[in-house]
Structure 1
Amino acid sequence: MSNFRESMIMTGQLEYEKHFWNAMRGDNAAYDKLDMGRMANIGTYLLPTATSKKCMAELEKESIFRQIATTIHAYGTDYKLMGTDTKDVATWVPEGGEIPMYDSMEDFTKYNVGFYKAVAFVKLDEDFIDDAAFDMENYLVKRFAKNLGRIEDWAFVNGTGVQMPTGILADKGGGETGVSTANVTFDDIHSLYFSVKSEYRKNGCWLMNDDTALYLRSLKDEHGNYLWRGDADSLLGKPVHICNDMPSIGKGAKAVAFGDFSYYHVISRKPLSARAITEVFTVYDQIGYLAVEYLDGKLIRPEAIKVMKVTA
């Protein structure tokens, strides 16, 4: 891709969109008209601007983290994420009084941001592709978003930072342990809640899988009353997000997370791109479609999200 800015302008033109969808329908000659949108290292082509916006909107529906985290577009080759380490000063000062300041040079931590490749692959029968009434764009957008959203959330939870983003459960770079317990009780949930500083509880939410939510919903007091009362989508007044990429309660598992997930940053490094793959599937009267995105994910303030670790 020779000039990124020119390429982004080109993808917004109707001519580019027409040739792109001709290529997606198996017209290999159409790729000659898409040269400005070609991702040279992988041979995919930038989605038309309108399609890219639709795909990102669908991806935000599919990915829990894209709903609760902070998304940044950082398409440059050399990008560093800055995280503040110190508290800002805010206080009342009498007229003529000294204004408090701090002179620390370590107010920010620089995070190196990676280029990690996520891919989604789907296939379509040529009968659908040849049907003029078939909304191919809408179909591929939803399929790409569903698959990319699934692998994104897995990495944002469990990622190691090696050839993938760093997840909130990572031992290095993930959320801090707020509670360690051998036998999960509702008291542990209260302890986890209050282990998070009030400034992060304000916009806090819970993350757990279905099994953990069911277990917590089943806990009762000595009188047989359920401890988790009221709306299943709220716990201690804070939203509950079910993410089945979180581990179930078990030895060594970090089964529940709570905090302000806006301090987790999803960093898009390149726009979505795709291409049709015709040769391999011709004998099956099918066309394959490969979608590629480059991104990273980092928790820039580990104390903002605390996890409950099960020790036995």
Structure 2
Amino acid sequence: MKNYSEMLPHITGSDYETHFWDALRGKQGYKEQVSKGVDNRSGALTLNPKGQSRYMAALEKEGLFRSLATDIRAYNYNYNIKTANGNDVAAWVEEGGTIPIADGMGDFNDIALKIHKLVVFLKLEEAFVKDATFKIEDYLVSRLAKNFGRAEDNGFINGTGENMPTGILAASGGAEVGVTTNAITYEDVVKLFFSVKPEYRRNGVWLMNDETALALRTLKDDGGNYIWNHANDTILGKKVCISEFMPSAGTGAKPIAFGDFSYYWIVDRRPLSIRTLTEQYALEDCIGYLAYEFLDGKLVRPEAIKVMEMTA
């Protein structure tokens, strides 16, 4: 298949869904029935749309960024997405007056979307998989969502853009630095908050790891007031999100991010696809699975998220 649109009619029906999961159980004789669902990039079987919807719902629960960012599906082509690089145009216009469309014509920049491959491998006992009472779809969807969710969050935070997404902490293409400091103080956190424009503060959230959160829970101003609201776990009225993939405070590290994470775009380039490995693990009485995601991630407006950078 050249692209997903050509593949879609062949993987939508209930027959393909049944044969897909039978193939993942290691059953033979379904090669022809599922051949139209083979992804040309991975050589694996493409998950049907119903299964993909279940998987994406599970992935959003497991992965932090999937619940914060903007998720875009772009399955078919290697194209650039144009995004506004500034403010949209809103103006009062008198009856018969000129509408200032030209003011926003140049307010776009191209964002090149790549196709990065993320792979998860797991294996299960063959007897377990072939047990008719074992709900293989529920199990694999849940387990793959957990594994992919963790790997995605790491990439969306720390990715370099080389063979992986561009993370928010990337030196190039990542979030802007709002505050530099050699030790996190009450004033530094407040400065970081106000370094973000009001339009991005409106839906802003904080992102940090457990160690940083613990330090901020005890941080006070000169009057003895905590910066952390212990009643609802917010800082300056904004939700705190925890990720183990955020760094701790240290020279050159960026331990705290704040802003509107909806300006981080996750672009899914292919649905989930899974390859069954039977012969390789026959001596172990196991069946292996290679699952593939193809995606990219970029912060389309770097000023929407600001980070604190440590200088010493």
The structural deviation recorded for 1:222 is 4.9
- Tell me the residue number matched to 1:286: 286
Query: Matches of residues 1-312 of structure 1 in structure 2 within 5 Å?
Result: 1-2=1-2, 4-92=4-92, 102-103=102-103, 105-222=105-222, 225-231=225-231, 233-312=233-312
Distance in 2, Cα, partners of 1:130 & 1:31: 18
Amino acid at match of 1:167: G
Distance in 1, Cα, partners of 2:54 & 2:100: 49
TM, length-normalised to structure 1: 0.94
Amino acid at match of 1:147: N
The structural deviation recorded for 1:132 is 1.6
Relative distance call for 1:86 and 1:50 in structure 2 (3 A) is closer
The structural deviation recorded for 1:28 is 3.8
Q: CA RMSD in A?
A: 1.9
Relative distance call for 1:6 and 1:102 in structure 2 (3 A) is closer
The structural deviation recorded for 1:73 is 0.6
Distance in 2, Cα, partners of 1:40 & 1:309: 42
Distance in 1, Cα, partners of 2:2 & 2:88: 43
Distance in 1, Cα, partners of 2:195 & 2:223: 28
Amino acid at match of 1:152: E
Query: Are the equivalent residues in 2 in contact too, given 1:20–1:31 (CA < 8 A)?
Result: no
Distance in 2, Cα, partners of 1:203 & 1:221: 25
Query: Are the equivalent residues in 2 in contact too, given 1:122–1:143 (CA < 8 A)?
Result: no
The structural deviation recorded for 1:77 is 1.9
For 1:154-199, what per-residue CA distance to the aligned partner results, in whole angstroms no more than 9, with x for missing partners? 0100010111110000111000000000111111111000000001
Alignment gaps of 5+ in structure 1: none
Pairs aligned (count): 312
Distance in 2, Cα, partners of 1:106 & 1:152: 33
SS at match of 2:162: coil
TM, length-normalised to structure 2: 0.94
The structural deviation recorded for 1:61 is 0.7
Distance in 2, Cα, partners of 1:139 & 1:2: 31
The structural deviation recorded for 1:49 is 2.2
Q: Report the more deviating stretch, 287-296 or 23-32.
A: 23-32
For 1:132-156, what per-residue CA distance to the aligned partner results, in whole angstroms no more than 9, with x for missing partners? 2111110000111111111111010
The structural deviation recorded for 1:76 is 2.2
Query: Are the equivalent residues in 2 in contact too, given 1:20–1:34 (CA < 8 A)?
Result: yes
The structural deviation recorded for 1:244 is 1.0
Relative distance call for 1:110 and 1:21 in structure 2 (3 A) is same
Q: Report the more deviating stretch, 121-130 or 263-272.
A: 121-130
Amino acid at match of 2:89: V
SS at match of 1:34: helix
For 1:202-229, what per-residue CA distance to the aligned partner results, in whole angstroms no more than 9, with x for missing partners? 1111111111101111223456553323
Distance in 2, Cα, partners of 1:233 & 1:224: 18
Query: Are the equivalent residues in 2 in contact too, given 1:176–1:306 (CA < 8 A)?
Result: yes
The structural deviation recorded for 1:103 is 4.2
The structural deviation recorded for 1:70 is 0.4
The structural deviation recorded for 1:290 is 1.1
